[in-house]
Chains A and B, each alone.
Chain A
Amino acid sequence: MTKAILSGNEAIARGFIEAGGKLAAAYPGTPSTEVLETLSHEKGIHAEWSVNEKVALEVAIGGALSGVRSLACMKHVGVNVAADPLMTASYTGINAGLVLMAADDPGMFSSQNEQDTRHYARLGKLPCIEPSDSAEALQYVKAAFEMSEAFDTPVILRTTTRISHCKSVVETGTVESPAGRGLVKDFAKYVMLPNNAKKRHVFVEDRLMRLKEWAETSRLNRIIDGDKEIGFITSGISFQYVREAFPKATVLKLGTTFPLPEKLIKKFASSVTKLAVVEELDPFIEDQIKAMGITVHLGKNVLPLWGEFSQRLVRERISGSTLPMKEVVSGLIMRPPTFCPGCSHRGLYTVLAKLKLHVSGDIGCYTLGALPPFSAMHSCICMGASISAAHGMAQGLALQGTQQQKPVAVIGDSTFLHSGITGLINMVYNGGDAIVIIMNNDTTGMTGGQEHAGTGRPAGGVEAPRLDIAKLCQAIGAKRVREIDAYKIKDLEKIMKEELAEKGPTVLISNQPCVLRYRVSKKAYSVERESCKGCKLCLKAGCIALSFTPEGKTGYVEIDPLLCNGCGVCEQLCTTGCMKQGDA
């Protein structure tokens, strides 16, 4: 046993190793990504980046059916993608243990919505457990596999950003090695034809009752005895906030948040004067407790339904008084994220902004094109939606007979492989008329540079077959597939104009590598102060390496040599020729 500081995600990976887990499949997504990243360096474990979450879960289901303990990891919205196999895997059950790690993001540090994924547990009649720190995260993974095998069920291990990304002290243990179970043929259990599924549904309902009974005495639920004036029921990270805000209070800490231990909760509730339920996002525990006929005095009537909590927030809302707050320094400007200097997305958006096109967006680093100075992305819904939505927009425009130009979809390589392909097949098949731009930077950039089927490398490995995006688009039946260089903005503008004049779908593919992932750097540019007219045209490149100093009638631009990556987009916008590459 050794002590180490691990993030929740690293602890989950360690828990998986200790549980003798053998197969892990995931698609990257903050805050879940590091579980698979950690496992990809582990010998004797198959850890893969699957093309999307549905595939990842199905691979893990296959692993469990083959007889090895298997894990699928994803961010909360990934569970939406994987929901179809999840709902029916509940019916088939498992062979060896199966755990789905789903990471929610209260406060939306890096997400497009703030859904509470615990609802899937209820929808799928699946157990859901929530650790409160890294040490518990490790133990809960082991407990999840035991539950999974004892009850013949997939188990949802739900974390939030502060559990996945906070580091705390963990004691690691020994590694189990459960025997492989091998594939089993069982028609009634694994083939979900209606007649089999009908019987399995009865099994699922019965399993849920048994899980509920089990939760009554599970060591995952415990009471910290204390002051009975207000008794707290809480789980996950909220437990820590409650303990810090009300260190003397009695607390029922729930590790199993679905199904709930009803008797334990009733007993606890009757032992306290007032009952408080503290949980981030939805009143998932609270509503279940109310449905038991128990009065919840303090819950979502005082606590927010959105954002993350803190010890301060819990203290204030539960006590109903505001704590003194120091004044926030005024007049400070925000520092939003932005394209890295040298990023190829910059060239593309310079052109899209200039042409004032309507851009159907997607999720990745290129979503930052929605921000100034480009403001050149006009919708962004979920991964893969850019192409299908652009197709719908184009059809909608045609029906209205408007003069608006055809819409443009912008999508990254990882996102295209995740769920853009189906949209493109659909658009080509249904006579679509939009321009699709695939920004292939050879990595999953936004989440920190993971491999995918197009990079030619597997997770933690050296070589894999490399998917050719252009050939794939041709095979789908797209007639106009062209390669573009997103750094050459004049050429790109010309190509865009040509394609706007064409009828039918066009696919444009940019193949410039991510400068961060591949450490690309060219010689920096500099500005000749005397020749700069201060026209600010170059600032349209939206690059952090540029800065403008007003002086005299106009002013001048400077380029920070330590930040400039030498991509040359700003230089192409310059009309005075005052920018030079290399030592000026």
Chain B
Amino acid sequence: MNVFNILISGVGGQGVLLTSKVIAEAALLAGLDVKQSEVHGMAQRGGSVLSQVRFGDKVFSPIITEGEADLLIGFEPLETARYLHFLKDDGVVIYNTRPIGTIGVSIAAEKYPSGVNDVIKDRAKTVLPFDGTQLAVAAGDKRTLNLVLLGAALSHLPLKEAFVLDAIVNTVPKKVLEINQKAFAAGRAQGK
């Protein structure tokens, strides 16, 4: 199988890394080569966070460059728009429409840009915007947004569902597994 490229973007603290961890594990279960890239440290203090997963028969580089992404999973609109130029022409965008202000917005030095949702709609052929935070809160914890988004992305992942379900069990801590599975199901219903 050709290399499939997924970009996952959001804000530090939103749990972006878990989504990529589950996808990478599912790819491993599918017997594929997989590489996952993330940035630790400074970027985690509320800054913008990007994680990248690539899987296929053989993967060399762990990073995705401009125009290479098949799928962009966005945890926040601004952070989704920031990476649109990484998408392939037929790339898919799945994102949470709930905005999070930046520190510049909080100190009234900058304005959160208007029309972000329109830009995303214009720039990608297939877009699925929805309030994932609301679904996560309904599932029991806003921190399950990562599984909500994963659920919504499922139909666009070239991975068998069973592998993804097993990967969730292998990856998510036991204590919170149930609400995460609930969140995943809620996301999947959205993605259908």
B61 at the interface (CB under 8 A from A): yes
- Is the CB of A303 closer than 8 A to any CB of chain B? no
Contact present for A337 and B81 (CB under 8 Å)? no
Which residues of the partner chain A approach B59 to less than 8 Å between Cβ atoms?
168
Contact check, A337 vs B43: say whether CB atoms are below 8 A apart.
yes
A450 within 8 A of B: no
Nearest B residue to A560, CB-CB: B101
CB of B61 within 8 A of CB of A168, answer no
Residue total for A at the interface (Cβ-Cβ under 8 A): 61
Q: A310 to B105, alpha carbons, bound, how many Å?
A: 32
Q: When the two chains form their complex, are residues A5 and B24 in contact, meaning their CB atoms are under 8 A apart?
A: yes
Docked-complex contact B37 and A333, CB < 8 angstroms: no
Count of residues in B whose CB is under 8 Å from the partner chain:
55
Closest-CB distance, B84 to chain A (whole angstroms) = 5
Main SS of the interface on chain A?
A: loop
- Cβ contact within 8 Å between A168 and B36: yes
Minimum CB distance partner of A539 in chain B:
B107
Query: Are A337 and B46 CB-contacts (below 8 A) given A162-B62, A240-B62?
Result: yes
Contact A31-B78, Cβ < 8 Å, known A329-B84, A338-B47, A544-B46? no
Nearest residue (CB) in A for B114 is A331
Listed stretches A140-148, A198-206, A319-327; interface member:
A319-327
Task: Flag the segment in B27-35, B147-155, B175-183 that touches A.
Answer: B27-35
| 9-residue interface stretch from B63-71, B158-166, B184-192 | B63-71
User: What B residues does A133 contact at CB under 8 A?
Assistant: 35, 62
B:112-142 near A, CB below 8 Å: 112-113, 116, 119, 123, 142
Using CB atoms, name the residue of chain B closest to A557. Answer: B108
Question: Cβ of A334 and Cβ of B85 under 8 Å apart?
Answer: no
| Bound Cα distance from A133 to B82, whole angstroms | 28
In the assembled complex, the Cα of A325 lies from the Cα of B84 at a distance in Å of 11
Chain A min CB distance to B104 (Å):
6
The answer to whether A243 touches B60, judged by C-beta atoms less than 8 angstroms apart, is yes
Beta-carbon contacts under 8 Å, B55-102 to A: 59-63, 65-68, 78-79, 81-82, 84-87, 101-102
B40 part of interface (Cβ distance < 8 Å)? yes
Q: Are B85 and A446 in contact (CB under 8 A)?
A: no
Across the interface, do A161 and B46 meet the contact criterion of CB distance under 8 Å? no
- Which segment of A275-283, A288-296, A405-413, A545-553 sits at the interface? A545-553
Q: What residues on A are CB-neighbors of B101 within 8 Å?
A: 544, 547
- Residues in B neighbouring A3, C-beta threshold 8 A: 28
Q: Is A184's beta carbon under 8 Å from chain B?
A: no
How many Å lie between the Cα of A169 and that of B24 in the bound state? Answer: 10
Measured in the bound complex, the distance between the Cα atoms of B52 and A311 in whole Å is: 14
Contact of B43 among A110, A323, A371 (CB under 8 A): A110
CA distance A542 to B112 in the complex (A): 16
A368-B45 in contact given A333-B102, A335-B78, A539-B107 (Cβ < 8 Å): yes
| Complex Cα–Cα for A536 and B107 (A) | 8
A328: interface (CB < 8 Å): yes
Determine if A165 and B61 form an interchain contact, defined as CB atoms under 8 angstroms apart. no
Is B47 a contact partner of A335 (Cβ separation < 8 A)?
A: yes
Instruction: For the complex formed, measure the closest distance between the CB of A334 and the CB atoms of chain B, giving whole angstroms.
Output: 7
Across the interface, do A244 and B41 meet the contact criterion of CB distance under 8 Å?
no
Shortest CB distance A317–B (Å) = 13
CA distance A332 to B81 in the complex (A): 8
Separation of A548 and B103 alpha carbons in the complex (Å):
11
Judge if B1 is at the interface, Cβ distance under 8 Å: no
Residue in A109, A169, A310, A539 whose CB lies within 8 Å of B33 = A169
A residues in contact (CB < 8 Å) with B: 3-5, 30-31, 33, 109-110, 133, 161-162, 165-169, 237, 240-241, 243-244, 310-313, 323-329, 331-340, 365, 368, 371-373, 446-448, 536, 539-540, 542-548, 562
Additional 10 contacts, C-beta under 8 A, given A110-B39, A166-B38, A168-B59: A162-B63, A165-B38, A167-B36, A168-B33, A326-B84, A333-B110, A337-B46, A338-B46, A372-B107, A372-B109
A-B residue pairs in contact (CB < 8 Å), sample of 14: A30-B40, A33-B40, A133-B35, A312-B65, A323-B67, A329-B85, A333-B110, A334-B102, A335-B46, A340-B45, A371-B103, A372-B109, A447-B41, A548-B106
